[in-house]
Amino acid sequence: MACNDLPNDLKILWNETGKDGPMFSPEQLRNETQKMQAKRRKGYIVLGVAFSAMVASLAIAFFLFHNTLARIGSILGVVSCGYWVVYLAAERARTAPDPAETNGVRHYRAELERMRDWHRGIGSWRAPILIPPFFLFDLGAAQTFGKAAPWVWLFVWFDVTIFLGVVAIGAPIKHRRTARKYQERIDALENASRG
Amino acid sequence: MDAVESQDECYEKAAAEYGAALARMAAAYEANPDLRRDLLQEIHLALWRSFGKFNGRCSVRTWIYRVAHNVAISHVVRQARGRMNAPAFLSLEEAEAKTSGENVEISTDRRQALAQLFALIQRLEPLDRQVMLAYLEDLDAETIAEITGLTVTNVWTKIHRIKNVLVRQFAGGRHGL
């Protein structure tokens, strides 16, 4: 049965809209797809190279620094940055939900779940695991160079305040709260679609 | 080469026939003109790519609206990401309760009526927005159910609420309802 009893004025008004919208050619869209894929690839490569460089630097630091704390920090740093290299490779292979594959409810739920899981992961523990290694490494460096350059201790305490306060404590709390809000929207969607 | 040509041909036909509907949809999902243009391009992009795997299991019309609405929903979710404390979307029930005061005569102020209609749609929950837009595009309840994944009964309930909202807000309702 058609839903065709819209008020006539409103129907005419609605149908007249959008007729001067921009049009796109297949060639434009093909170029745009290639540009988007290249940009996405570049983003992952840059991050991957950055984390790989940190793994290499921390591995070298293990042999250069004879301080115990600095060595423990460099081992943990290699492990946590190494995890990020693997994680980025896995994320690059993952794709967003395909808009052609499913109906509206399922697609919307998939998008909300993706956002919820991102906030649960990145904020809760993926970013904070980078903090303790660098903190230990800084402490070890301060122990080694602190007598010759006391400002190193200032740098260490600055690290502690900023990283522990903001990244290790504040950010996970904020991300967990946001993840809960996404879960509420998923639950509301579930109820609405059962209607 | 044949598969590529077929994909391009399908897309060009779809864009010619449904281009205006897609532009209306982009305007209903996004108020900001720059973001709206990006959204419209994303919709066309997704549509073009989707014709590479269209297998005729549903009608072309259903396919187009499903892809377009899903792209728009992804856009809404992405835009809302940094604004989880922004005012929540309205459900149709809440919209019904709100639209009692401001009545707009379509014939005397078309621009305001249109702006008000888009503003109303942009405040709705994404799923209710889908139903309202499909209803405004004259799709039948079965097609709307297929696009959204809701049951036909649920769609009819929502359409009933949509009609109440539109009648209350737009004085032109006396012409048709």
Q: Is B79 in the A-facing interface, judged by CB distances under 8 Å?
A: no
Q: Are residues B110 and B131 in the same domain?
A: yes
Q: Which domain holds residue B37?
A: 7-82
Contacts of B60 (CB under 8 A, 6+ apart): B10, B14, B54
Tokens of B77: 């979710």
Q: How crowded is residue A73: how many other Cβ atoms within 10 Å of its Cβ?
A: 25
What global pTM score does this model have?
Answer: 0.81
Q: How far apart are CA B16 and CA B9, in angstroms?
A: 11
Answer yes or no: do B125 and B165 share one domain: yes
* Residue B98 and residue B59 share a domain: no
Given a cut of 60, whether residue B31 has pLDDT beyond it is yes
Residues B75 and B36 in one domain: yes
> Interface pTM (ipTM) of the complex?
0.85
Residue A143, pLDDT > 70, answer yes
In terms of domains, do B63 and B116 share one?
Answer: no
The total domain count for chain B is 2
Best residue of B22, B37, B44 to probe chain A, by most A CBs closer than 10 Å: B44
Cα–Cα dist A146/A67, whole Å: 12
Which domain-ending residue is among B55, B82, B109?
Answer: B82
Q: Mark which of B82, B102, B135 sits at the end of a domain.
A: B82
Q: What DSSP designation does B107 have?
A: T
- Segment B134-157 shows an average pLDDT of 93
DSSP sequence for A8-71? HHHHHHHHHTTTT-----HHHHHHHHHHHHHHHHHHHHHHHHHHHHHHHHHHHHHHH---HHHH
Q: What is A118-154 written as a DSSP string?
A: HIIIIIIIITGGGHHHHHHHHHHHHHHHTTT-THHHH
* CA trace torsion B61, B3, B74, B162 (10° rounding): 0
- What pLDDT is attached to residue A4? 45
- Distance separating alpha carbons of residues A177 and A120, to the nearest angstrom: 9
Residue B172 contacts A where some CB pair is shorter than 8 Å: yes
User: pLDDT tens digits for A49-96?
Assistant: 999 999 999 999 999 888 898 999 999 999 999 999 998 888 887 777
- Provide the pLDDT for residue A2: 42
CATH number of the domain enclosing B18: 1.10.1740.10
A105 contacts chain B (CB < 8 A): yes
Q: Work out the minimum CA distance from B20 to partner chain A, whole angstroms.
A: 5
Same domain? B13 vs B78: yes
Asked whether residue B70 falls in the same domain as residue B123, the answer is: no
Contact A99 B7 (CB under 8 A): no
* Whether A18 contacts chain B with CB within 8 A: yes
